[in-house]
Chain A
Amino acid sequence: MTLTPNQTILVICIVAIATMITRFLPFVLFKGSKSNNSYIKYLGQVLPYATIGLLIVYCLRNVNFTSPTYGLSEALAIICIVVLHYWKENVLLSIVAGTVVYMLLVQFVFL
């Protein structure tokens, strides 16, 4: 543990509160009325997709593409997920296989 127990509890509470803000806010903002603002509706349709794109880039932010191993482990594992997911369409299988492939690559191949 890097943090003290009190700091850990504080971090957990902060993460919980921030999560709850994102879940409760729409119900607080649009209390009693249905959202009929067309801009909000449009964002509701497109933002979830853009957000996932952002999150993928966030997960890969520390990958160095200009020096060894040029992000090869990440690229290979993602290719594996894409192929498997198009082929089998099984969410769990794709996640497990992709993670295992990545672990094997970083532990045994690209050290």
Chain B
Amino acid sequence: MNEKTKALKAAFPYTIPVFTGFTFLGIAYGILMSSKDYGAGWTFLMSLMVFAGSAQYLAINFLTSVFDPINAFLMTLIINARHLFYGISMLDKYKDAGKLKPYLIFGLCDETFSIVCSTELPRDIDKNWFYFFVTLLNHAYWILGSLLGAWAGSKISFNTKGLDFVLTALFVVIFIGQWKNKENRKPAIIGILCSIMCLIVFGQDSFIIPSMAVILIALTIQRKEYTENKNLTEEGIQ
């Protein structure tokens, strides 16, 4: 058995949960797109080129409102800003990936990140090919799911009002998952409170950038407090 087949066989079981998740989210996405009169071709193009669920859901807003490329650009940067931190965590793992590296980075979505960063591989598996197949399989599930949705949306017609709540539900579920770890709670609360504050002050159309700035400031202050507390405890021990 050559090393690629071996890596593919090792990668597949890890991607099964993503398969179910992406199928549903992808179908919902395809249906939403077709409910706005964007057929399978557009859905395919989007899922192939962007491969970022939340940004693609968000992009439906850009496609259905007044043409505003700058807003589309900024909102996508903001919604995907978390990828910066995935990238920082993957610098080491992906450093010897060679010709596979561009695709690995291209496909570093939340789910791929969580598999790659949490998996300990047996020695006889080529890790770069393993990462490659995890990324490729997830990408394929996402494209297939959204195409299935686009097809279903064109065949069956039902009231899709409220289906866009799937994005909110996704974030709430991620939030709960993070909340279970106590260390994550302070930054999570900072994120919510600063955003609500900026929403009230700046209004619903322009609160995102101020929120990011305020969150960054709050987290920076929080860090000082954190290190000071740490130093105090250490002095106390001495």
A62 at the interface (CB under 8 A from B): yes
Q: Is the CB of B81 within 8 A of A22?
A: yes
Q: Is the CB of B24 within 8 A of A96?
A: yes
CB A78 to nearest CB in B, in angstroms, measures: 6
Query: Which listed segment binds A: B4-12, B42-50, B139-147, B229-237?
Result: B42-50
B101 surroundings in chain A (CB, below 8 A): 27
Q: Is the CB of A23 within 8 A of B191?
A: no
Q: Is the CB of A54 within 8 A of B215?
A: yes
Q: Is the CB of B162 within 8 A of A103?
A: yes
B175 at the interface (CB under 8 A from A): yes
Q: Is the CB of A14 within 8 A of B208?
A: no
A2 surroundings in chain B (CB, below 8 A): 63-66
Q: Is the CB of A52 within 8 A of B106?
A: no
What does the 1/0 interface line of A68-111 toward B look like (CB < 8 Å)? Answer: 00000110011001100110000110111011001111110000
Which chain A residues have a beta carbon within 8 Å of chain B's beta carbons? 1-3, 7-8, 10-27, 30, 34-35, 39-44, 46-62, 73-74, 77-78, 81-82, 85-86, 91-92, 94-96, 98-99, 102-107
Which chain B residues have a beta carbon within 8 Å of chain A's beta carbons? 17, 20-21, 24-25, 28, 36-38, 42, 45-46, 49-52, 54-56, 59, 62-67, 69, 72-74, 76-77, 79-92, 94, 101, 105-106, 108, 159, 161-163, 165-178, 184, 186-196, 199, 204, 207-208, 211-212, 215-216, 219, 222-223
